[in-house]
């Protein structure tokens, strides 16, 4: 018997209608923000559930001011779906999975992994980066749902996008950090790709592709910025030979047992939709 109330489960399984214009917008810009994906009750429920789980599992004791840039950016806990049945219902939501599938124009999606990204009061910037630097995946049919668990004003550090920057190859070799922030800040400044910085309303979430450059500002408020993310890949995604040590690590941790050149069909990479 699921611990999640029936009303909440229903909201996670009900389809969210996407227009042809929204799909075309994503295909061109490789990001999109969608309003009212989560109703107030579902949002508050998982604000509480995910918040409690992060508090229980977080092992970081160092003060924010004493950490490096990456450490200041957020508290990061991964694959919470394997730790909590309620969070599993959230991560396995067909509502989210269908959106991801339709935006990418694939036959379906698998989970790559999830991660909670909690930016503490006083937390620093999240530097410019492209996620797929870390992923040993054969194609760019990847997408991340960025799901704030509360209203997220500019002062709290919402996700920012460089629209259309998936076309830029320079900087793809950079891990997230001071170098990626400095280099991509300069590189993106001299392009025509818009830098999109907007608040997220309560219940609004975004989706962005693996090679889209994005960042987030600091959290200058006194409240925790609670965000849950779900990384999806084409259900027919194949593993590629790792090109850096981070991709090798990701293979070992997030695709254990997968073989190079084969579809990533492991017990922790289930088809969601």
Question: Which pLDDT tens digit goes with each residue over 199-243?
Answer: 999 999 999 999 999 999 999 999 999 999 999 999 999 999 999
The mean pLDDT value for 100-110 works out to: 98
Q: Which of 58-67, 119-128, 161-170, 218-227 has the lowest mean pLDDT?
A: 58-67
Dihedral angle of Cα 273, 6, 40, 229, to the nearest 10 degrees: -30
9 lies in a domain? no
Domain hosting 47: range is 19-254
Is 25 within the bounds of a domain? yes
Q: Under 8 Å CB-to-CB from 25, ≥6 apart: which residues?
A: 32
Distance CA 229, CA 117 (A): 7
Higher local confidence (pLDDT), 69 or 228: 228
Q: Which of 124, 116, 103, 71 is nearest to 210 (CA)?
A: 103
Q: Are 29 and 165 in contact (CB under 8 A)?
A: no
Q: Enter the tokens of residue 192.
A: 């025509």
pLDDT, residue 1, reads 47
Q: Is residue 252 classed as helix, strand or coil in its secondary structure?
A: helix
Q: Are the C-beta atoms of 161 and 31 separated by less than 8 Å?
A: yes
Residue with tokens 């460089």: 162
Considering only CA atoms, which of 142, 106, 137 is closest in space to residue 229? 142
176: left (phi over 0), alpha (psi -120 to 50) or beta: beta
How far apart, in whole angstroms, are the C-alpha atoms of residue 185 and residue 160?
12
* Number of domain units in the chain: 1
Q: What are 42's two structure tokens?
A: 């579902």
For residue range 143-184, list pLDDT tens digits in order.
999 999 999 999 999 999 999 989 888 777 777 777 777 877
Cβ neighbours of 124 (radius 10 Å): 22
pLDDT of residue 183: 77
Question: pTM to 2 decimals?
Answer: 0.93
CA dihedral defined by 179, 182, 187, 191, rounded to 10 degrees?
140
Is pLDDT at 105 greater than 90 in this prediction?
yes
DSSP string, 41-84: HHHHHHHHHHHHHHHHH----S-GGGS-HHHHH-EEEE-GGGT-
Q: What CATH number is attached to the domain comprising 249? A: 2.60.120.620
Is 2 part of a structural domain of the chain? no
Mean pLDDT, the chain, as a whole number? 92
Q: Domain for residue 265, yes or no?
A: no
Share of the chain above pLDDT 90, in %: 79
Q: In which residue are the tokens 């600091």 written?
A: 218
Closest CA to 149 of 118, 125, 122: 118
* Residue 260 included in any domain: no
Let me know if residue 271 belongs to a domain.
no
Cα 196 to Cα 222: distance, rounded to the nearest angstrom = 24
| 169: in domain | yes
CA atoms of 31 and 222, how far apart (whole Å): 29
pLDDT band at 255 (very low <50, low <70, confident <90, very high): very high
Number of H helices, E strands in the chain: 8, 10
68 falls within a domain: yes
Task: Reply yes or no on whether the pLDDT at 24 is more than 80.
Answer: yes
Q: Is the pLDDT of residue 74 over 70?
A: no
């Amino acid at each position: 018997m699921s611990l999640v109330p029936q009303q909440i489960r229903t909201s996670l399984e009900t389809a969210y209608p996407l227009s042809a214009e929204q799909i075309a917008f994503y295909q061109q810009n490789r990001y999109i923000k969608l309003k009212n994906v989560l109703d107030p009750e579902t949002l508050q429920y998982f604000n509480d559930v995910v918040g409690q789980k992060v508090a229980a599992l977080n092992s970081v004791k160092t003060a924010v001011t004493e950490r490096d840039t990456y450490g200041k950016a957020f508290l990061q806990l991964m694959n919470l779906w394997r730790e909590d049945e309620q969070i599993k219902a959230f991560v396995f939501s067909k509502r989210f999975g269908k959106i991801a599938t339709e935006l990418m124009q694939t036959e379906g999606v698998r989970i790559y992994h999830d991660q909670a990204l909690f930016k503490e009061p006083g937390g620093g910037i999240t530097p410019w980066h492209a996620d797929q630097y870390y992923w040993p995946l054969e194609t760019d049919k990847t997408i991340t749902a960025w799901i704030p668990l509360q209203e997220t004003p500019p002062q709290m550090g919402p996700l920012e996008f460089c629209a259309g920057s998936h076309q830029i190859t320079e900087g793809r070799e950079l891990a997230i950090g001071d170098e990626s922030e400095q280099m991509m800040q300069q590189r993106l400044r001299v392009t025509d790709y818009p830098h999109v910085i907007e608040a997220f309303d309560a219940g609004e979430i975004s989706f962005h592709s693996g090679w889209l450059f994005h960042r987030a500002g600091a959290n200058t408020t006194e409240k925790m910025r609670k965000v849950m993310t779900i990384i999806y890949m084409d259900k027919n995604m194949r593993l590629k030979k790792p090109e850096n040590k981070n991709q090798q690590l990701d293979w070992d941790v997030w695709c254990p047992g997968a073989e190079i050149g084969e579809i990533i069909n492991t017990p922790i990479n289930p088809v969601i939709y």
